[in-house]
A and B are shown apart, each in its own frame.
Chain A
């Protein structure tokens, strides 16, 4: 396991080498988050609450929602795996006593940790200072938010790896990146929280793995789930993560035997 920690740490440190990029990214991120919050402020336009959700809650939701998707570059996981499979660089990994998908995940999580500290936390802090942000509903919800946040990173990373492996058969990763983006916007609750969805759609969306990426962490922070619901949905999320992990392992095994039997 220490191998994968070493990959993550080295990816974290490598990011430091691209310091110039950090400033440009920071400005881009700030504009993006400001825009998202400003849209909600405009939609509310003085109304105290819509569907039982106050503007303050909505702003907090929008700020937290970007915390996961803002730090991870799922498209680089997808294209990274797709490219290594296509160019045959993956052959090099078949020679090492270490797993290639785990290497890709560890590396991207290392980079995500860097972006979280350097990009996400400062932008959220700046925007929160301007528009205000609610604290977690209770200490319990605060702690569970952290757990949900880690689970969110795991799920988005596994999903991206799954999409990346599919690229091996489709021989294109671009359309998959695009598809992942569309799915995330809609089904993670990033663009619009589920409580504004029509009831049947909301129920379905709330049980798909994408919901754990944005919707649940923010909803938990805001206290929209009681203690039992918080715990049981966490269990369900873990189940999704396990299922996705199995999917990644199986697809990887398929892809690598195909390379080994037929050649890159």
Chain B
């Protein structure tokens, strides 16, 4: 399969004019030329093939947005080689722009004062989309994301979830080959998140649009992206199948069983008991293929069971386990 994005040892350093605090500091800031350097992306390499859906995961400040900005041509890498669809993005920014779609979760591209439909019309003019193709895309995409009820409403009157859905549809109207999304689910409620996730995986499957999505929500990636790239402190720390993440990193889901009456010690094969408070018992689900069904099956008589909860490991936890494991594997110095 052809690689449509290739990053080889890409780095980005930001140089910031050093600021001094206080009033005299402000004067000093004016006359000095001292800089502090921030490494936002360090030595990152990966290749992405046509039709993939890749999640770019990492905590805040890990360098995700910076990487997206380099791939879309609005930032120039400080070092390394980056090509998107065979081009160096910042050198051929406009040619690149015609073939990609970009959604920023925290920055709107819709026209605030205009009805959603008018924003789409302006987008059609900017990208010179042929009318029949535009109408067809608008119809199918907006019915999939249920935009029809608010197509005629001004963008400023929309809820965040509605606006985000409109942003995503707009980014797809010109049939981009690659769709970049920077934190598209940030701030959305559960229902809106779910709608966005379902839609994106459908777009990837049915239209063959390559998707690169940054997030700090592991669930976004599990539902949309078969492949995961994980970054932390500007460096790439994992690149592989999302399904293998847990096994690769050894972080397990947590299971809690609450009983109406204490059943006594309850050892399970499907889950490892970690603490037992009598009525409440905590387990770790260490294998991915074990689901609640297996657990309930094993318990058998569930009449005494009052409550069950499964907690996904959050990203900080996943990264912590990753580091612990890596440090354990390193030879002692």
Could you list which residues of chain A lie within 8 angstroms of chain B, going by C-beta atoms? 2-3, 6-7, 10, 14, 17, 88-89, 91-92, 94-98, 259-263
Secondary structure class of chain B's binding surface, majority of residues = mixed
Number of interface residues of B (CB under 8 A): 28
Contact A94:B122 (CB < 8 A) given known A14-B114, A89-B107, A262-B14: no
Q: Is the CB of B76 within 8 A of A91?
A: no
Q: A10-B122, A98-B126, A260-B75 are in contact. Are A92 and B104 (CB under 8 A)?
A: yes
Interface residue B109 (Cβ < 8 Å from any Cβ of A): yes
- Additional A-B contacts beyond A10-B114, A260-B93 (12; CB < 8 A): A2-B125, A10-B118, A10-B122, A17-B113, A91-B69, A92-B104, A95-B72, A95-B73, A95-B97, A98-B126, A260-B74, A263-B66
B146 near A: Cβ within 8 Å? Answer: no
A27 to B76, CA, bound (A): 51
Task: Using A260-B90, A263-B69 as known contacts, say yes or no to A92 and B107 having CB atoms under 8 A apart.
Answer: yes
Contact call A97/B125, Cβ cutoff below 8 A: no
Contact B114 A91 (CB under 8 A): no
Interface pair B122/A6, CB less than 8 Å apart:
yes
Q: Which residues of B contact A10 (CB under 8 A)?
A: 111, 114, 118, 121-122
How many CB-defined contacts (below 8 Å) exist between A and B? 56
Q: Does B133 contact A (CB under 8 A)?
A: no
Contact among A7, A17, A92 with B122 in the assembled complex (CB-CB below 8 Å): A7
Compute how far the CA of A153 lies from the CA of B54 in the bound complex, rounded to whole angstroms. 49
Instruction: Choose one: A3, A6, A95; the contact of B74 (CB below 8 Å).
Output: A95
Which one of A3, A91, A262, A263 contacts B125 once the chains associate, using CB atoms below 8 Å?
Answer: A3
- The answer to whether B76 touches A97, judged by C-beta atoms less than 8 angstroms apart, is no
The answer to whether B90 touches A95, judged by C-beta atoms less than 8 angstroms apart, is no
**B98: Cβ under 8 A from any A Cβ:** yes
Q: Which residues of B contact A14 (CB under 8 A)?
A: 113-114
The 6 closest A-B pairs by CB, nearest first: A6-B125, A3-B125, A94-B74, A97-B94, A98-B126, A14-B113
A10-B118, A263-B75 are known contacts. Are A96 and B90 too (CB-CB below 8 A)? no
B102 interface residue, CB < 8 Å from A?
yes
Residues of A within 8 A of B127 (CB): 97
* Contacting residues, chain A, for B74 (C-beta < 8 A): 91, 94-95, 259-260
Contacting residue for B126 out of A17, A91, A97, A261, CB 8 A: A97
- CB contacts under 8 Å to A, within B78-94, are 90, 93-94
Task: Decide if B73 touches A94 in the complex (CB within 8 Å).
Answer: yes
State which residues 95-129 of B face A: CB under 8 Å.
97-98, 102, 104, 107, 109, 111, 113-114, 118, 121-122, 125-127
Bound complex: CA A260 to CA B98 (Å): 18
B300 to chain A, nearest CB (A): 58
Cβ–Cβ contact B121 & A6, under 8 A: yes
Question: In chain B, what residue has the closest Cβ to A259?
Answer: B74
25 inter-chain pairs at a CB distance below 8 angstroms, sorted by A residue, are: A2-B125, A3-B126, A6-B121, A6-B125, A7-B122, A10-B111, A10-B114, A10-B118, A10-B122, A17-B154, A91-B69, A91-B74, A92-B109, A94-B73, A95-B74, A95-B102, A96-B97, A98-B126, A259-B74, A260-B74, A260-B93, A261-B75, A262-B14, A263-B66, A263-B69
Chain A residues in 8 Å Cβ range of B114: 10, 14
Smallest CB separation, A102 vs chain B (Å): 11
- CA A264 to CA B111, docked complex, whole Å: 21
User: B11 → chain A, closest Cβ, in Å?
Assistant: 13
Asked whether, in the complex, the Cβ of A97 is within 8 Å of the Cβ of B97, the reply is: yes
B15 in the interface (beta carbon within 8 A): yes
Residues of chain A with a CB closer than 8 A to B75's CB: 260-261, 263
Docked pose: A94 CA to B93 CA in angstroms: 8
Residues on the A chain within 8 Å of B126, using CB:
3, 96-98
CA separation between A199 and B127, bound complex, in Å? 53
Cα of A97 to Cα of B97 in the assembled complex, Å: 6
Docked CA distance A95–B96 (Å): 9
Whose C-beta in chain A lies nearest to the C-beta of B96?
A95
Q: How far is the CA of A173 from the CA of B199 in the complex (A)?
A: 42
How distant is the Cα of A181 from the Cα of B90 in the complex, in angstroms?
38
In the bound complex, residues from chain A placing their C-beta under 8 Å from that of B69 are 91, 263
Q: Whose C-beta in chain A lies nearest to the C-beta of B112? A: A14
A88 to chain B, nearest CB (A): 8
A97 touches B109 (CB 8 A): no
Contact pattern, B 50-66, Cβ under 8 Å of A = 1, otherwise 0: 00000000000000001
Q: Please name all residues of chain A whose beta carbon is closer than 8 Å to the beta carbon of B76 when the two chains form the complex.
A: 260-261
Contact present for B107 and A91 (CB under 8 Å): yes
Bound-state CA distance A10–B98 (Å) is 22
Residue of B nearest to A107 (CB): B111
Residues of A within 8 A of B122 (CB): 6-7, 10
Min CB distance, A15 to chain B, in Å? 9
- The listed residue (A17, A97, A263) touching B14 by CB distance below 8 A is A263
B73 to chain A: which residues have CB within 8 Å?
94-95, 260
A91, B73: Cα distance in complex, Å: 10
Residue of B nearest to A88 (CB): B107
A230→B1 CA distance, assembly (Å):
67
